[in-house]
Amino acid sequence: MTLMRKTDSPIWHNQWIALLLTGVLAGVAGMLIALLLHEIQHLAFGYSQRSLIGGPPFLQGVSDASALRRLAVLSAAGIVAGCGWWLLARYAKKRVSVGTAVNDVTQPMPTVTTLCHAFLQVITVAMGSPLGRESAPREVGALFGGSIARHCGLSAQETKRVIACGAGAGLAAVYNVPLAGAIFTLEVLLVTISWDAVIAAVVTSAVAAFVASLVLGNERQYLFTSPEAPFSLIVWALLSGPLFGYAAHLFRRMTTTARRQVKSNWQLPVFCFIAFACLGLLSIWFPQLPGNGRGPVQLSFGGGVTLPLAAILIGLKVLSIWLVLRSGAEGGLLTPGLAIGALLGALMFLIVGSFFPNTDMAEFALTGGAAFLASSMQMPLTAIVLLMEFTGMDFSFFVPLTLAVAGAYMTCRYRKNAE
């Protein structure tokens, strides 16, 4: 009797069918989320309403809107956030996070709760929430992956892999970062580099990014024009890594504490309205504050911030993130972390950049953003690859980026273990 090879088994085929379907659905979900986000942004702030793809950036749209409109939109976002998440906590099934779904496949993500949770994130981020948009496509991708895996009759280990790949594929689709999506799956969710997991993650993220790009295009997230990294940037990366790591540690502690203090009672809608209204007031003078932080990152990459502006934006950005998290609003911290790190890097350039010949603000912002993001999100490899795909930077930046990330990540871990 001839034994059937493992690669010829029906279960093996079912796993790959599940992975490919998950990649396609995660790509479609990421595409629809991006289109919905842009549509709400354009309607809320009244700019470029004839084109969802392309057109002026969100920062310009907010800047061109009147002060009253900014205040009104962000106050309305607070009402949507507060009432929406209060109703979800009171009447819907308990939400299962992506991490919980991956670690315990016996707890499936409830469909209605997950989709409503993701939808609320998209609406509030589009209306100016300072949190990130990446959590929504990750949750939807993981939801699809878990449902498909169970319908295909996969084992617990295979189901875990498909759920994690779905989450990474959602990230890959919404940002057009196939490699970073795969690395995120392996580094953060599965915590493995086995060949089966690597191939599954790469294929799923690539499929999702390709599907989303059919409509969203292949444009990079940020314009980064520095041609080559100077040697002095390596010196700066070695020196600055621990600084960014310590700052990221404080940021992690702040955001974790803020989320733990949220109460799903009458305080949630009240606090959300107050938090977003305060952000609306601040946006009258600082239109860079609304949104996930993409605008400030691009300003830093373009050398468009002064020392006072960088310092003020860092303080107000951190404050606004704390306010909305403490109030009970939800969202990611990927782009917000990148924005804080980039602004901190730009600030450092304005203070000490003259001591590092041939460097510019964009290079300091790049290393600062990567180092802060890697430490605050505890994903060093993902952060490096993400910045490479976000910017299309020259390969010469790989060394300073890696050194800055390594120093920041080790410092953040040391401070965490010391407490």
pLDDT score of 4 more than 50: no
Identify whether the C-beta of residue 142 lies closer than 8 Å to the C-beta of residue 170: yes
Q: Rounded to whole angstroms, how far apart are CA atoms 300 and 341?
A: 10
Give me the chain's average pLDDT, please: 93
pLDDT at 104 over 50: yes
This prediction has a pTM of: 0.94
pLDDT of residue 34: 94
The pLDDT assigned to 5 comes to 41
pLDDT (tens digit per residue) in 370-380: 999 999 999 99
In contact, 389 and 229? CB cutoff 8 Å: no
pLDDT higher than threshold 60 for residue 52: no
Structural domain boundaries in the chain? 11-216, 231-418
Percent of the chain with pLDDT over 90: 89
Is residue 233 classed as helix, strand or coil in its secondary structure? Answer: helix
* Percentage, residues of the chain above pLDDT 70: 95
Average pLDDT (191-197) is: 90
Per CATH, domain 11-216 is 2.40.290.10? no
Distance from C-alpha of 267 to C-alpha of 269, rounded to nearest angstrom: 6
Beta carbons within 10 angstroms of residue 253's beta carbon: 13
pLDDT at 227 over 80: yes
The per-residue pLDDT for 270 is 96
pLDDT for 14 equals: 87
pLDDT band at 47 (very low <50, low <70, confident <90, very high): confident
pLDDT of residue 6: 44
* Contact yes or no for 384/344 (Cβ under 8 A): no
Distances 360 to 228, 234, 295, 346, 405 between C-alpha atoms, Å: 11, 13, 19, 9, 19
Examine domains 11-216 and 231-418 and report if their fold is the same.
Answer: yes
- The confidence score (pLDDT) of residue 193 equals 87
For the 231-418 domain, the top CATH level (class) is: mainly alpha
Least confident of 49-58, 123-132, 276-285, 328-337: 49-58
Mean pLDDT (whole number) for 252-270: 93
- State yes or no: pLDDT of 54 exceeds 80: no
Is the separation of the CB atoms in 275 and 78 below 8 Å?
yes
